Structure 1
Amino acid sequence: MRFLLELTLDDKATAEDRAGELGRILRYWGGNVRHYTLEPGDGAAVHDSAYQEVGNWRVVAS
């Protein structure tokens, strides 16, 4: 299987802000990974700390 995570981070934010937001997104997703079967076809939208959709993750066959 392949796990794909695609995010668009704010170009206008500082590198520190982007890194902080990315860290928060990865911690949140990592904490919830056990709720998914992680089979091809699984996926969901990813939201930032302002609850704006910034990307998605999905599982595809290898």
Structure 2
Amino acid sequence: MKFLLEVTMDDAALTRDPAGELGRILRYWGGSLRHCSLEPGAGSPVYDSEYREVGRWTVQGPAD
């Protein structure tokens, strides 16, 4: 299986402070993963600090 986190870096908040925004996203999703099903097909949108969708995390199975 693979855990994939994709974030579009051209969002306004990510352009202003890429390291800060990515750090916030990683902290938030890292802390929330215990509440998520980590089975193939699972996933959820990822939001910046202004609550705009900037990406997605997904779990892919061995055939993906």
Q: TM-score range by the shorter chain?
A: 0.7 to 0.9
Instruction: Provide the TM-score with structure 2 as the length reference.
Output: 0.85
Q: Which residue of 2 aligns with 1:60?
A: 60
User: Shift of the alpha carbon at 1:10?
Assistant: 2.7
What is the rounded CA distance, in whole Å, between the counterparts of 1:29 and 1:43 in structure 2?
11
Instruction: Provide the TM-score with structure 1 as the length reference.
Output: 0.88
Which blocks of at least 5 consecutive residues in structure 2 are unaligned? none
Aligned-pair RMSD on alpha carbons? 1.5
Is the CA contact (8 Å cut-off) linking 1:10 and 1:18 kept in structure 2?
A: no
Identity percentage of aligned residues: 63
Q: Which residue of 1 aligns with 2:45?
A: 45
Q: How many residues in Structure 1 have an aligned counterpart in Structure 2?
A: 60
